[in-house]
Each structure stands twice: as C-alpha cells, then as structure tokens.
Amino acid sequence: MFQDTTKEKSNYPLLYSVDHPSQLRELKLEELQQVARELREFLIEVTSQTGGHLAPGLGTVELTIALHYVFNTPDDRLVWDIGHQAYPHKILTGRRDQMHSIRQYKGISGFLKRSESEFDTFGAGHANTSISAALGMAVASGLQGKDNEVVAIIGDGALTGGMAFEALNNAGDLDANLLVILNDNEMSISPNVGAISNYLARILSGHAYTTVREGSKTVLGTLPLSVKNLARCWEEHMKGMVMPSTLFEELGFYYIGPIDGHDLNTVVATLRNMKDMKGPRFLHVVTQKGKGFEPAEGDPCVFHGVTPFNPDTGKLETKKKGRSYTNVFSDWLCDMAERDHQLIGITPAMREGSGLVKFSQQYPERYFDVGIAEQHALTFAAGLACDGLKPVVAIYSTFLQRAYDQLVHDISIQGLDVLLAIDRAGLVGADGATHAGVYDYSFLRCVPDIVLMAPADEAECRNMLFTGYQYVGPAAVRYPRGNGPGVEENSEMTLLPIGTADLWRSTGCETNRIAILAFGTMVHPCHEIAEEIDASMVNMRFVKPLDESLILELSDNHDLIVTVEENVLMGGAGSGVNECLHKYGRTVDILNLGVPDQHLDHGSQGQQLADCGLDKQGIKEQIMGRLSALVDNTVRLLPVSASNS
C-alpha cells in the first residue's frame, strides 16, 4: 500500500530518522523523550485510520524504546507476549511506513510474525507463551556457545495462566541466562513506584550492589547456618518492604522493581545494569495502558482493540449494524439464569468479547472470570458440574484449543453437564491465522457423546443454546464473529430434537439433481444458491450427531451431494457426511467445500471467504464445475450408439 510520507516526516522528524534500531542506539539519551512523543502520536494517528490494538501499545512506548536502545537487537532476542503491545516494536524495526496497512488485506500483521521481520523472534496470538519461548532460545544460545541476551516481555494479565509459571519454575531451576520483564499495566503508579523505588531499583541492579551481594554469598558460606539464614531473612525483609519480590526470588529469579515504565532514564539505566548480570532475572515495570491518549487512558478496555476513530476526540466510527451473535448469547445467558438458579457463567478473561458484561452485572455471584487460564476454566466448570451446578463456559474457538485435554479427560470421560458457548468460530478477519476458529468441528467431532451445533441465524442460535443447556452431558454451540442475517429471536425458547436437520428446499429437477448440505454460517448463502440452480438444500444444524437418515435419503435420490462449512476440510463436518455414506455403502458423488489445508492471512472476513472459495460466487462456481465434470464423465461412459443417438 503506497503512503505519502512527506507530511509524516515533517511531523515526526526524529522518528523518521530511525529505520533500524541501530540508528536509535546512535541517539543521545535525552533525545529519546522526543522519540517517545513522536512514536505515541504516530501510533494514535495510524490506528485512528486502520483500527487495531491501541491502548496496549501506548503503554509500552518507553519500554520498547529502552529495550531497543539497550539491547543489540535482533541479535539479542526480544520475545513479546502476544502482539497487542508490540505496535511500537514494529514501528522501530523497519515497518513504520507499512503501519498504514496493518491488519489490512495483504498488509502487515497485527501480531508478531517470524516471516515478516527478523525482529519478530516468536509469533503468537495467545497469551503466556513468551517466557517458555524465550527460555528455549536462552538454552539454545547456551548450547551453541552464543553470548546474546534473551528478554521475555509479558503482561500482568498473562501471569494468570499456568504456562507462564511453569516456564518461570523451569527457568529458575535451569539457572538460564534469561531476563523476564513483567509489564504491569493494571495497577496505578502507586507511591512506592516513584523516586525512592526507582532509585532503589538502580542501586539493586548496579554493579556495586551485585558485587557485594555475590561476595556476601561467599562470606555467608563460611558462617554457621543460623547466622546465614538470619542474613538472608534480613535481605528479603528489607526488599519486601518496598517490592513484591519474594515469589519470584523463590522461583530462582533475581527480582528488581517495581519501576515506572514511563520514566525512560530509569528504564534505560535499569536495563543496562541488568544486562550485565547473568542467570534468571525479573524486572517489574509498571505502565499505564493507553498512556498519552486521554480517551484510551479513561477506557483502556474499549481502546484495547478499536475500529477507526477520530484522533482528536477519540470518538469511534459507528456503523449501523444488525444484531451480533455475541449479543444473542448475552441475552440468552441472562434469560436462562433468571429461569435456572443453578446456571454459572465462566469466561477466561474475555468478559467483554464473549458478551458476559450484562450477566456479570445482573448475577455477580454466579459470574466467574478465571483469567487467561483456559485449561483451568474447563476443569473448574467440571468441578461445578460434579456438585450439581450448570456451568456455561463462554470461550473463543481459538482459545478452546488450549483446553482440549481438559475437555476430553475432565468433562467428556466423566460425562459432565457443561455447555460450551464458542464465539469467533470460523474465519475472523483482521486477527488472521492466530485467531482463526476453523478447527473446532474437527477436534470436537471425535469427542464421544458431545453434541455439537452450528446455528444458521440469530433465532436458531438462541434455541441451540437452550437445547445444549438442557442436554445432559457436554454440549457445544459454535457461532461466528459479527452479525447474523437478521432473523429475529423469540422470547420463548424451543428445544430442538437432537441430531435432526432441517430440509429448507427440495429440488424439482428430475435429472442431475444436487443436494447441498450446509452448516452454520453457510446456510443462508447456500439457500440462495439452491434457489438459483434448483437444488435441494439442508440446514444441517447438528455437526454431531449428524442426521444420518436424511443424508441417506438424499443420497438415494440425488446425483451430487455437496457439503459446505466454515471449518477446515480435514476432519470437518463434510468428513462426517463422507463417513456416514461410507458406513452404509452409498456411492453417490460428493463435493466437500470448506477451508483449505493452509493458514490464512489476515483481511476482511469477506476477503478470506472469497480466498477459500466460500463466498456465494465461489460456492456456486465449484458446484457447477463439479456438475459439469459429472455430466461429461457420464456421457463418456455411455455406449457409442447411445451417445450418437
């Protein structure tokens, strides 16, 4: 995407002098403040046009500058947790002029991506991966005789996930040469994170103190155990008065902080000192999410991931929209909770995204946000179900992947009554491959006794949630990001018969008859296609159990069965139909349409569907192409006399 940078160069002169971190390292320390101001303003300007993750990046401007200023990147490794906080990192590492294409079709990714830049050392769309990945890199460096530094930057929210603590425990035990930075942006800059604390951090990370500290270990080694323990307790007590170090010290890390993450001089000085240390080190940095942009400071949740907005007022662009599936779930959950006091709502840190805000306000005693801990969310739900409660876990499709073991072992094997409300299923647009919810049909189908449903519209979504809630055992309803086709829900909920599809259209054609079996989001476009080509069309409703009797009936009186799903083809709903036909010995021609065997780049949902051949035009062309080939093949197989007649 071409962008005229003349204006930007005049508005951001120092920022536009930095095309590589090596140029940043040539600047004087006092010039970094201007870089920070320009970087923050540039980030606001860009995201106001493109949308994206704004508040997290605003909070890491100074930290990012300091990291690239102190460390010799990319030889020294920076491993960011997720990519929300790494927009400033992208800007400083050669992608400034591409930022206007971020999250756009064929543009740069909104997350870190190894194939995009050598500075993106590890790509991830899920939280609490950075410490594990960085530890692997640190160990690899040691085994290969390298002397480069490895730094993991993790947000405080990610520390709610067990994987982060597993990595911390392992790193301390290995005595790895690793620096972990906790970007703490949930607490305010409290009094102890000021001049005294910053001064103390510099002292504790300085050469003189560390020399004395290491020397004291030798001296203490010659003293009686009781005196040695007393000395160590005194050190921990003195540090504990001003810093929460004990936990990380016990894990084997040398802890420094908390420091003000927006004080560039302090951050640079502390990083320089800690760079000279070896072994596991832990730096606690306190930042403010949305720093420097008043609307984002006031509402960092809204400005975490935003649509385009007015950079002067912070007012978001509003478009007239229909009703989203997330809102359908939100209303259903509250309605169901009013009927059944046993209902419990659970989310792994996605209250707003999964539509639990209203429920958390109306039923706070029955609402549980367990943090970024998907595995715990499902086993916690299993425990609730063991004692007679009715848990509903609201979770994104891509995050459910992290809790697959818990679904199988803790819920399915025990036959526990848990409902999964799976949001963001299918293609998700600008978030791209890391958040694509295109695998859940495949990995849920093989779980015994689960009921898996996919609604065609808003009204059906409400009824499926009700049906899944009433089912005794594990059930799942998967619905897409965004809005439905506009089918109004009824206040009363209808129980759907398990495993029964809905025949929307029966063909009137006597030859070359086509039957389209559509799942979820593909139902309405397939219905339009069926009208145009005079085909039978079924809203399958259930991915498991399938309506086998209807599938067999259609196979007996149609020449071509077409399955259409917004899921990967391998192991998906179409595979289930194939298995059914094979089981009963049917040999009808089959065309399976779905997401191909590849990771899809970001773009709009419409563009992604078109790339997969799952937009209306693509589906129709593939059906007609297969029908044409089927007819040609039939003609070739006819006797010569018949074909000449």
Which residue numbers are catalytic? 289, 374, 402
Dihedrals φ, ψ of 106, to 5°?
Answer: 70, 5
How far apart, in whole angstroms, are the C-alpha atoms of residue 21 and residue 64? Answer: 11
Dihedrals φ, ψ of 4, to 5°?
Answer: -75, 115
Dihedrals φ, ψ of 325, to 5°?
Answer: -65, -35
Under 8 Å CB-to-CB from 572, ≥6 apart: which residues?
441, 442, 445, 565, 592, 594
Under 8 Å CB-to-CB from 76, ≥6 apart: which residues?
148, 149, 150, 151
How far apart, in whole angstroms, are the C-alpha atoms of residue 276 and residue 99? Answer: 34
CB 404 within 8 A of CB 379: no
CB 45 within 8 A of CB 68: no
Three-state helix/strand/coil letters over 273-328: HHHCCCCEEEEEEECCCCCCCHHHHHCCCCCCCECCECCCCCCECCCCCCCEHHHH
Dihedrals φ, ψ of 587, to 5°?
Answer: -125, 25
Provide the residue type at 275 as one letter. Answer: K
Alpha-carbon distance values, 593 to 239, 504, 556, 596, 613 (Å):
62, 19, 21, 9, 8
Q: How far is CA 115 from the centre of its chain?
A: 19
Question: Which two structure tokens, joined as six digits, stand for 299?
Answer: 């509402």
How far apart, in whole angstroms, are the C-alpha atoms of residue 338 and residue 331? Answer: 11
Alpha-carbon distance values, 604 to 81, 105, 237, 611 (Å):
25, 7, 54, 11
How far apart, in whole angstroms, are the C-alpha atoms of residue 587 and residue 304? Answer: 52
CB 614 within 8 A of CB 595: yes
∠ Cα 564 566 570 (to 5°): 80
How far apart, in whole angstroms, are the C-alpha atoms of residue 516 and residue 550? Answer: 12
Question: Which two structure tokens, joined as six digits, stand for 64?
Answer: 């990012």
Cα atoms found within 13 Å of the Cα of residue 81, Cβ hemisphere only: 25
How far apart, in whole angstroms, are the C-alpha atoms of residue 328 and residue 481? Answer: 12
How far apart, in whole angstroms, are the C-alpha atoms of residue 420 and residue 422? Answer: 6
Residues across the chain: 645
